[in-house]
Amino acid sequence: MTLPRLGVNIDHVATLRNARGENYPSPLRAALLCQEYGADGITTHLREDRRHIRDDDINEIIENISIPLNFEMAPTDEMVNIAVNAGPNACCIVPEKREEITTEGGIDVRSNHNILVPKIEKIKKNNIRVSLFIDASMDQIKMAKEIGADIVELHTGEFCRKINYNEDASSELERIREAADFSNSIGLELHFGHGITFDSVGELSKIKEVKEFNIGHFIISESVFLGLEKSISKFRELIKIGREIQ
């Protein structure tokens, strides 16, 4: 049985560092420890305002880790140039609004079509895989395929929020399931990301098409209580249990 990969997003280690303007905790140290503790990849989002990870962090991380780096970025020329120079394993293109607390929804592939096409072309020409972070919508998935994405990462935030607040999440889950099935049927690799916690990962890992989870805020938060190693191994265990009982 092949289990979905676990990518750990280390942005919030940088958030902590930046909150005090010190040089600790180190995102590189976090990336190396995640690797040691069984993460299959590292994810990080270089935001336009550099509110967490900075340019130097990306270079340091990529030079020192041996697992894949998934580079989250807005579709701007600046970010494409940084990605092409750094050479991550994949670029995950996300929408970005300066005032948002986190990435609130997926990118609208239809209205951003003309912005995305040349950027995807350039990234792929440099042998970097392209992932689009989108909502679980058939139209978005179809467009993602048409414009050359290799991967779609479906935004799981609303499903996870409902689970956290004990609301009925069944229709969200059904929407994600149908989108997963459709993505797989048209040859897109499927990832899930955003808001995933110990309580929501099990249901999501029952969806057999998912190849990768990208999880950040909850892992870093839970590390305050459990430590990074236990947070990562608990996620791996829950992913395995979910997959076994699908």
Q: Contact residues for ligand PXP (CB under 6 A)? A: 9, 11, 45, 72, 92, 94, 102-103, 133, 153, 193-196, 214-218
Catalytic annotation present for 45: yes
Catalytic annotation present for 72: yes
Q: Which residues contact 155 (CB under 8 A, 6 or more apart)?
A: 103, 105, 106, 133, 134, 135, 136, 193, 194
**Which of these is catalytic: 72, 158, 189, 222?**
72
H, E, C per residue of 102-134: CCCCCCCCCCCHHHHHHHHHHHHHCCCEEEEEE
* Least separation in angstroms between CB 205 and ligand PXP: 15
**Which of these is catalytic: 12, 52, 191, 194?**
194
SS3 of residue 227 by DSSP: coil
Query: Would you say 57 or 153 has its CB closer to ligand PXP?
Result: 153
Query: Would you say 48 or 244 has its CB closer to ligand PXP?
Result: 48
* Least separation in angstroms between CB 154 and ligand PXP: 10
Catalytic annotation present for 194: yes
* Least separation in angstroms between CB 7 and ligand PXP: 8
Query: Do residues 60 and 32 lie in contact, with contact meaning Cβ atoms separated by under 8 Å?
Result: no
Rounded distance between C-alpha atoms, residue 91 and residue 77, angstroms: 13
SS3 of residue 88 by DSSP: coil
Catalytic residues: 45, 72, 194
